[in-house]
């Protein structure tokens, strides 16, 4: 009898420690190196810091890192199904893609088409979205943000989803918040990003009573 009870308790502890069991909300961050945590320990990456910040406020949330360094919008689209698969449907997907499309001078129309397909799939599955744009630093010779920024705004309007205009807002061109490459946030930079975006995330996960969207 004692062995049976002990086995039950042990199984319960394992389940309680598993992500699907432990958290009532599942957030997936589909992104590139900015969210993947390029050059950082896993615990300093954006998903881990966002989860810690939410949990410190008593939010029962698991934030999964589905970021891949170097990924484009096309790569994110190809990975989407696998990123959101699992026994528990995500409550929210943060889509942060496009920086590498811009750096490689890929046509804005192609980026828009890929992001459109991502948002369409998420809408069909009734999963909430926070679309994060990326305004690239202007030190890149011959680069213009305008046409790419329009893509994010047009898609946010078309799908009626919240837009966080620039994922690197508050840290771009500030050496103290970036790695030596001046492109990727360090741990302190990620902390600033989390502080800036956290309210947007919470507004989606915990909206005022009576307010619902297509994802609810």
Going by pLDDT thresholds of 50, 70 and 90, the confidence category of residue 116 is very high
Domain count, the chain: 1
Asked if residue 107 is part of any domain, the answer here is yes
- What local confidence, expressed as pLDDT, does residue 145 receive? 62
Model confidence at 211: pLDDT above 80: no
Asked if residue 5 is part of any domain, the answer here is no
Range of the domain at 193: 20-205
Question: Domain with 31 in it: what CATH number?
Answer: 3.40.50.1110
Q: What is the pLDDT of residues 131-160, one digit of tens each?
A: 999 987 654 555 566 788 899 999 999 999
Provide the annotated active-site residues: 33, 181, 184
Rounded average pLDDT over 172-197: 96
Q: Report whether 177 contacts 46 (CB < 8 A).
A: no
Asked if residue 173 is part of any domain, the answer here is yes
Q: What share of the chain is helix, strand, coil (3-state, %, to 5)?
A: 50, 15, 35
């Amino acid at each position: 009898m004692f062995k049976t009870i002990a086995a039950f308790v042990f199984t319960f502890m394992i389940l309680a420690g598993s992500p699907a069991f432990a958290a009532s909300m599942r957030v997936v961050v589909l992104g590139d190196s900015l969210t993947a945590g390029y050059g950082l320990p896993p615990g300093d990456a954006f998903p881990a810091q966002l989860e810690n910040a939410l949990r410190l406020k008593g939010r029962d949330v698991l934030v999964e890192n589905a970021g891949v360094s170097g990924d484009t919008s096309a790569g994110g689209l190809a990975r989407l199904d696998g990123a959101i698969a699992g026994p528990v449907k995500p409550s929210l997907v943060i889509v942060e893609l496009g920086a590498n499309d811009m750096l490689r001078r890929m046509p804005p129309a192609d980026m828009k088409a890929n992001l459109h397909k991502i948002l369409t799939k998420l809408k069909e599955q009734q999963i909430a979205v926070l679309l994060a744009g990326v305004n690239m630093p202007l030190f890149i010779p011959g680069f213009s943000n305008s046409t790419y920024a329009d893509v994010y705004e047009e898609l946010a309007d078309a799908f009626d989803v919240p837009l966080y205009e620039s994922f690197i807002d508050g840290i771009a061109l500030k050496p103290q918040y970036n790695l030596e490459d001046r492109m990727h946030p360090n741990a302190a930079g990620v902390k600033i990003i989390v502080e800036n975006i956290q309210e947007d995330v919470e507004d989606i996960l915990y909206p005022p009573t009576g307010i619902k969207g297509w994802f609810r």
